[in-house]
Structure 1
Amino acid sequence: MPHPVFQPGAVAVVTGGAAGIGLAAVQAFARLGLTVVIADVSPEHLAAAEAAVHAERPDATIVTRVIDVSRREDLEALEAEVRERFGGTDVLMNNAGVQPGSHMFAPQANWERILGVNLWGVIHGCHVFVPHMINRGRPGLVINTGSKQGITTPPGDPAYNVSKAGVKTFTELLAHELRTTDNCAVTAHLLIPGFVFTALTARGRTEKPAGAWTPEQTIESMMSHLDRGDFYILCPDHEVTRTLDECRILWAAGDLVENRPALSRWHPDYAEAFAAFVKGGEKD
């Protein structure tokens, strides 16, 4: 059964909604008859996104706003406008993200930008919107876009990994807060995409790699998970199966339990043990 929040006339706010996974979510919500507010930093991308939605659904109610999610005041102005025009927000998707690349000792400004958008953008969005969503007294959804890199934290892009690890922890705590709040019909969910071909992951490529999912496939999976009430929306792709994801996640947790070296999956002394662990998991 579809989630009860997905009713014609309900209001969805999607940050980073002008392209990629965000735009695919906007289009899916519009197909269900929701009023959709698209927030992004690029006026050009916003105009293109609105045109794309209206090309498929001419009668869709779409509002676009230029905001920077790292600035709480931008989100406060957006929430107030949505509440004044439409009565409030039913679906909040904190999806805005950046990945300019980072290294451990990169300039502070590089770290601040990534954390400001990827982590503080989620925190700002929840702090600004969610109390009003609770007060509405009706079903609501908060969807925060995380990453597998925030769970297994592979070496190579530390600022991004730290930001997404923070999103995971924050969203888990938010889910607990909501379910222990009296008369709260709002739930929180963590979207964990696989390899998705977007502008963020293209890295100069113009054609989708065979191993990648499209944003539309990711959102189709997300909607199915939401209908089931899942908190962790773990998406595979054409390269990595759910089983392999589970093995990687369990191995990462095992580093702490077994007192192995940090990130032992990438430690040469543990390469054979990890390969055997995965082989055993795939047999199961």
Structure 2
Amino acid sequence: MLERPVISNHTSRNGSPLRPAFSSTASLFKPDSAGLGDDVHPIIHEGRVAVITGAASGIGRAAALELAKLKLKIAIADVDEARLLKVGKDVAAIVGDANVLVVPTDVSKLDQVVHLKEKVFELWGESQYLVACNVKTIFLISQCISNSPIMILIFVQVAVLMNNAGIGLTGTSWDGINNWKTIFDVNLFGILNVQQTFVPSMLHQENQGMIINTGSKQGITNPPGNAAYNASKAAVKSLTESLAHELREKPNSNVTAHLFIPGWTYTNLTGAFTHAEKPAGAWTAEETVLYMLDKVRAGDFYVLVPDNETRRELDELRIMWAAGDIAEGRPALSRWHKDYKALFEEYVRDGMAGVGAGSERSF
């Protein structure tokens, strides 16, 4: 039988949940002055490959441009071919045509994701010769080669796999079933399609890699109004947490996972597509991506992004309150319950006291 192939605990008053420990630097990030140097991350450096879905606009486009500035090779995918081609030209202006791959892709369709991987490997793959021989009985490599089958494996050193494709259709808990299916096909199964297509290869590559899945605060705090979208993003959170654990526990794994949770960002889903003026409270996609890369550099799994209206401390309070609904036996989504609204607002005022003005009004 051939051997394995060889390659030459306190609660605040009035029943409020446990308060998080605030970081003194949580809201001090200044995206306008956060230029990324060569030390952005040991994984991210010249010549490596980034694969980004949902790259035709917004956060995906911004990620492609920022990583191009760091001299990575950029593969971009999106269902919107016209806009994707335009982004491809913008990226090529930074890193050159040879370092850009544009592949129109519907991530909800597995065959198209497989096609995306094939194009990435075709353009930037490196050949390695794998000799299947019995290392217990072979003494000379020449003898091994002459008497054993040789397989040629194609590897791509994928540094960044960013699952950013997503849609924001609506659906309540009892209607809009077609929207539910479409949302989950893209927001959840799109990520699964990409992970199950790319991750097995990433596990065998020599260099480190990371997977960044774009989630949503709505998948954590679950505000009323769009049950379908919230549920899909809650599933992304659960999936990415499981992925991170599985990668961490896998022997010799060089791949990490990160859950990217944007704040209020001026994107196609929030107004940029219609050319509406950016609200003062929103961050641009570029600011959001710079913050994400800064936190990934620090090794954070949960990349919880603030904005000009909501500080990280307020996000933390909202998340802890949502968890407290379960731990303290309150009604579901008590933050929006008429009998708990005043209590929640008091909890936020107490939690934000001394942190600084600017967000207390936005409960």
TM-score range, shorter chain: over 0.9
- Equivalent residues of 2:170, 2:176 under 8 A apart: no
Q: 2-side partners of 1:254 and 1:60: how far apart? A: 52
Which TM-score applies when normalising by structure 2?
0.76
Q: Residues 10, 61 of structure 1: CA spacing in aligned structure 2 closer, same or farther, 3 A cutoff?
A: same
What letter corresponds to residue 280 of structure 2 in structure 1?
A: A
Q: 1-side partners of 2:274 and 2:53: how far apart? A: 24
- Equivalent residues of 1:137, 1:184 under 8 A apart: no
Range with bigger deviation, 71-80 or 188-197 = 71-80
Match of 1:186 in 2: 255
Secondary structure of 1:29's aligned partner: helix
Are residues 1:46 and 2:116 paired? no
What letter corresponds to residue 215 of structure 1 in structure 2?
A: A
TM-aligned CA deviation for residue 90 of structure 1: 2.2
Question: Which of 38, 42, 61 is matched with 2:99 structurally?
Answer: 61
Q: 2-side partners of 1:82 and 1:59: how far apart? A: 14
TM-aligned CA deviation for residue 18 of structure 1: 1.2
- Work out the percentage of aligned pairs sharing the same amino acid: 48
Question: Which of 185, 188, 204 is matched with 1:119 structurally?
Answer: 188
Are residues 1:215 and 2:278 paired? no
TM-aligned CA deviation for residue 205 of structure 1: 5.7
Range with bigger deviation, 165-174 or 130-139 = 130-139
Q: 2-side partners of 1:37 and 1:16: how far apart? A: 11
Secondary structure of 1:103's aligned partner: coil
Aligned pairs, number: 284
- Equivalent residues of 1:75, 1:128 under 8 A apart: yes
TM-aligned CA deviation for residue 60 of structure 1: 6.7
Are residues 1:230 and 2:300 paired? yes
Match of 2:21 in 1: none
Are residues 1:142 and 2:211 paired? yes
What letter corresponds to residue 171 of structure 1 in structure 2?
A: T
Range with bigger deviation, 97-106 or 20-29 = 97-106
Which TM-score applies when normalising by structure 1?
0.96
TM-aligned CA deviation for residue 99 of structure 1: 0.4
Q: Residues 111, 82 of structure 1: CA spacing in aligned structure 2 closer, same or farther, 3 A cutoff?
A: same
Secondary structure of 1:190's aligned partner: strand
Q: 2-side partners of 1:59 and 1:235: how far apart? A: 32
What letter corresponds to residue 17 of structure 1 in structure 2?
A: A
Range with bigger deviation, 22-31 or 80-89 = 80-89
What letter corresponds to residue 216 of structure 1 in structure 2?
A: E
- Equivalent residues of 2:171, 2:177 under 8 A apart: no
Q: Greater relative contact order: 1 or 2 (C-alpha under 8 angstroms, separation 6 or more)?
A: 2
Match of 1:105 in 2: 174
Match of 1:248 in 2: 318
Q: Residues 24, 210 of structure 1: CA spacing in aligned structure 2 closer, same or farther, 3 A cutoff?
A: same
Question: Which of 266, 270, 282 is matched with 1:197 structurally?
Answer: 266
Q: Which runs of 5+ in 1 are unaligned?
A: none
Are residues 1:30 and 2:68 paired? yes
Match of 1:164 in 2: 233
Greater fraction helix: 1
Secondary structure of 2:269's aligned partner: helix
Q: 2-side partners of 1:24 and 1:90: how far apart? A: 17
- Equivalent residues of 1:102, 1:158 under 8 A apart: yes
Larger Rg: 2
Q: 2-side partners of 1:17 and 1:57: how far apart? A: 16
What letter corresponds to residue 239 of structure 1 in structure 2?
A: E
CA RMSD of aligned residues (A): 1.4
Q: Which runs of 5+ in 2 are unaligned?
A: 1-38, 126-155, 355-363
- Equivalent residues of 1:33, 1:60 under 8 A apart: no
TM-aligned CA deviation for residue 280 of structure 1: 1.5
What letter corresponds to residue 243 of structure 2 in structure 1?
A: L
Range with bigger deviation, 174-183 or 86-95 = 86-95
TM-aligned CA deviation for residue 77 of structure 1: 1.7
- State the Cα deviation string for residues 217-267 of structure 1 (Å, max 9, x = none): 000001100110100000000110111100000000000000000000000
TM-aligned CA deviation for residue 51 of structure 1: 2.0
What letter corresponds to residue 143 of structure 1 in structure 2?
A: I
